[in-house]
Structure 1
Amino acid sequence: MSKKKFEVLEHETINDCLKRMEAEGYTPVKRMEVPIFSEQMINGKIEIEPSGRKIVFEGKINK
Structure 2
Amino acid sequence: MAQKTKQKFYVEEGESIDECLNRMKKEGYMPVRRMEQPILKEIKKNGKTDVEVAKQQIIFEGKLIKD
TM over 0.5: yes
Question: Which ranges of structure 1 fall in alignment gaps of 5 or more residues?
Answer: none
Question: Share of identical aligned residues, percent?
Answer: 51
Where do 1:12-27 residues align within 5 Å? Answer: 12-27=15-30
Superposition CA RMSD, Å: 0.7
Number of corresponding residues = 63
Query: C-alpha deviations, 1:1-41, integer Å up to 9, x for none?
Result: 20000000112100000000000000000000110100100
TM-score (norm 1): 0.95
TM-score (norm 2): 0.89
Aligned match for 1:10, one of 10, 13, 24: 13
4+ aligned runs moved over 3 Å, structure 1: none
Question: Which ranges of structure 2 fall in alignment gaps of 5 or more residues?
Answer: none
